[in-house]
Structure 1
Amino acid sequence: MQNVFSKEDCDQFINRINQLKPDSKGFWGKMSVDQMLAHCNVSYEMVYENVHPKPNAFIKLILRLLVKNKVVDNKPYPKNNQTAPQFIIKRNRDFETEKERLISYLVRTQSLGINEFEGKESHSFGKLTSKEWNNMFAKHLEHHLSQFGV
């Protein structure tokens, strides 16, 4: 698993993102490349922006019990995996804007560092270790960058 807190690994993700083109096609799934970038940004919006409603206590408990381990472990996501409603991007987005946002979130996460995320509260899962944060971010990026062949 790559480490989003490592400058070297972060730069590798950024280099892969920079290989994407507005007309890049996915090997699976329905998203366009601009929608995929916006979709990847949702994970970071939940950390850095206040644009997504937080689940209530009951839903958060269900997410912790049924979803959390699949999201934070180091096993790759299967192709065509089901996603949460807030991650579904229904309309096209501006490719360059979404690409710049994602790169900015990656740089911000890397520069804040591992200690910033140790025990940090997740929007959906409660407190996570920095390793769980890393796994969540890295495996999601890996999944979608591979989807688009970079």
Structure 2
Amino acid sequence: MKSLASTDVLAETKNRLLAVRPDDRARWGKMSATQMVRHLDCACDVALGARAAKPVKGIPPPVMKWLALRSGVRWAKNIRTAPELERLIAERTDGEFDALVKSAAVKIESLTTTGSYAGSHPFFGTMTAADWMRWGYLHADHHLRQFGR
């Protein structure tokens, strides 16, 4: 299973992110390319423990985590995001697009170098470092495919 723990997967993911352009159109969903990049950036903040996101009610976290991270089933196109991240996506995005992309790429790489992660994910509950590496790849892959990258 692909994970950011692999240097090849990390390089591939970052290259795909760096290929996103501000005028890229989503194949599904409502986000613009700029909003998607900001979403990746802010979601990494949650993983790194720099931004809080409350648990989301729904499918029990252990079941949701297994389905999302271990089952091999591709994520649905219009899955929910944590309310805290939805609010950030709706806000005006400050900064130049290229700077947002670079920031998101740095944070994705930080997932592989930090020893400190949030203790839990809003949907998946308790997470290990390996879980965050797997999530980091799947989350980025989901949104990069959304924009044809």
Tell me, which stretches of 5 or more residues in structure 1 are unaligned? none
Distance 2:53 2:129 in 1: 23
Question: How big is the shift at 1:98?
Answer: 2.1
Instruction: Note closer, same or farther for the CA distance 1:9–1:84 as it changes in structure 2 (3 Å cut).
Output: same
Count of aligned positions:
143
Q: 1:43 touches 1:137 (CA, 8 Å); kept in 2?
A: no
The residue aligned with 1:72 is 69
The residue aligned with 1:96 is 98
Q: 1:109 is matched with which residue: 105, 108, 111? A: 111
The residue aligned with 1:48 is 48
Q: Aligned-residue CA RMSD in angstroms?
A: 2.8
Tell me, which stretches of 5 or more residues in structure 2 are unaligned? none
- Superposed CA offset, 1:45-73 (max 9, x none): 11335332544xxx689762564334433
Instruction: Note closer, same or farther for the CA distance 1:63–1:35 as it changes in structure 2 (3 Å cut).
Output: farther
Matched, 1:128 2:127: yes
SS of residue matched to 1:78: coil
Question: How big is the shift at 1:77?
Answer: 0.8
> Once structures 1 and 2 are overlaid, which stretch shifts more, 25-34 or 69-78?
69-78
